[in-house]
Amino acid sequence: MGGLFAASLLRVAGHDVHVFERSERGLEGRGAGLVGQRELYAILRLLGCEQTARVGVLAHERITFARNGSIAQRDVTPQTQISWDHLYRTVRHLLPPAAYRVGARVVRVENTSSAATIVLDDGETHRFDLVIGADGVGSVVRPAVSHGPTASIYAGYVAWRGLIAETHLPVAAAAVLSERFAFYHPRGSQILGYLVPGPAGETAPGQRRYNWVWYRQAAEGLALDRWLTGSDGRLRAYSVARGDVPPDLRDALRETAREVLPTPFVLAVEAEPTPSLQAIFDYESTRMVRDRVALLGDAAFVIRPHTAMGVAKAAGDAMALVAALDRLPLEKALFVYEAERLAEGHRLAVYGRELGRPLTT
């Protein structure tokens, strides 16, 4: 999303922009809901599509369950979950098809003081005045900027995820979970859930989806490798997509849910036929720019999902970079961008680790 934000803003500013997306089909269907933050509203205003932020589902309150399924805590704090899919499609369509190339896997970036060249996996090369690495947790652009370690570091736990049609949520679960942001905190774990818009941005009751996220510890090594192994028997680096989790792992997840979760969440977990898995990682850059390459979003700082700030930080990075390029020569603009966003990235990374501390003890 951060790459799309930057590309769209740069194109509006009159730059010739090319996006190289390694996925074969783009990123539609990769997300569920996200919490609207001020940076997101600001960038949508700049792009002329502020109405996208109004496509969301309101949770009227936050609740925390006791083990027996009763509500142990209630916090009347309304919160709106925006549709990630709808946001992605809106921003993606701001770019002409010729500017957005899918199935283009960049394997390295060659950086000099006058230009940067990307190298694709088939040997094809492209030379640019500026390359922006917005390639996430497994960034291949980082080595062109940082001379230190560039690998993301596993945090010790994973996020199991489910996203089901609202109508597939059992009635007994829906009666408690609908219209609420719900939590349960067993020791060394956490599960949360909330309604999000439907796949095409639907917000009417019955057309929405229920999203749950279950954070669970997994020791690095055999335990983590088993969970990160897809249905074809191959080990994945960072996540296992929907439909790729082997049936025995899905069944084991359901069994553990019955052992440790309150009933509403048990029913929600059991209603998901194709859960996905995301291992949680950390990464903090010491540099965000070097010569003709800049890092943006998770490529620069991997922010843990508990902060609900991943998309907002990417939007903030994109706005800061494009604003600097708009008023300054390229070299000075990159210096200003790094000075402005480096501290913010560190702050959010520290905040995310603090929020995740109970999941590693």
Instruction: List pLDDT tens digits, range 199-245.
Output: 888 999 999 999 999 999 999 999 999 999 999 999 999 999 999 99
Which two tokens mark 32?
């569920």
In the chain, pLDDT over 90 holds for what percent of residues? 84
Which pLDDT band holds residue 31 (cuts at 50, 70, 90)?
A: low
Question: CB burial class (10 A; 0-12, 13-18, 19+) of residue 79?
Answer: middle
Question: Do 280 and 357 form a contact (C-beta atoms < 8 A)?
Answer: no
DSSP bridge pairs for 118: 109, 126
The sign of the CA dihedral 158, 163, 169, 172 is: positive
Other Cβ atoms closer than 10 A to 291: 17
The DSSP code for 235 is B
Q: How much of the chain is helix, strand and coil, in % rounded to 5? A: 35, 30, 35
The number of beta carbons lying within 10 Å of the beta carbon of residue 308 is 17
**pLDDT tens by residue, 148-175:** 889 999 999 999 999 999 999 999 999 9
Domains and CATH numbers, the chain: 2-57+85-152+284-360 (3.50.50.60), 59-79+153-280 (3.30.9.60)
The neighbouring-strand residues paired with 196 are 209
Chain centroid, CA 108 distance in Å: 23
For 229, the token pair is 């192994």
- Distance, in Å, from the CA atom of 320 to the CA atom of 302, rounded to the nearest integer, reads 18
Percent of the chain with pLDDT over 70: 98
Dump pLDDT digits (tens) for 340-353: 999 999 999 999 99
**CB of 226 closer than 8 Å to CB of 168:** no
Q: What is the pLDDT of residue 29?
A: 62
CA 327, CA 4: separation in Å to the nearest integer?
Answer: 21
Structure tokens at 220: 């690095």
What pLDDT, on a 0 to 100 scale, did the predictor assign at position 26? 64
Q: Assess contact for 348 and 283: CB atoms under 8 A.
A: no
For 260, the token pair is 């440790």
Q: At a CB cut-off of 8 Å and minimum separation 6, what does 222 contact?
A: none
**Six-digit token string for 63:** 């609740």
Q: How far apart are the first and last CA of the chain?
A: 32
Task: Supply the mean pLDDT for the chain.
Answer: 93
Lowest mean pLDDT among 77-86, 125-134, 258-267, 339-348: 77-86
Residue with tokens 């899919």: 85
Q: One-letter amino acid identity for 119? A: V
Looking up tokens 């083990």 gives 67
Estimate to the nearest angstrom the gap between the alpha carbon of 261 and the chain centroid: 25
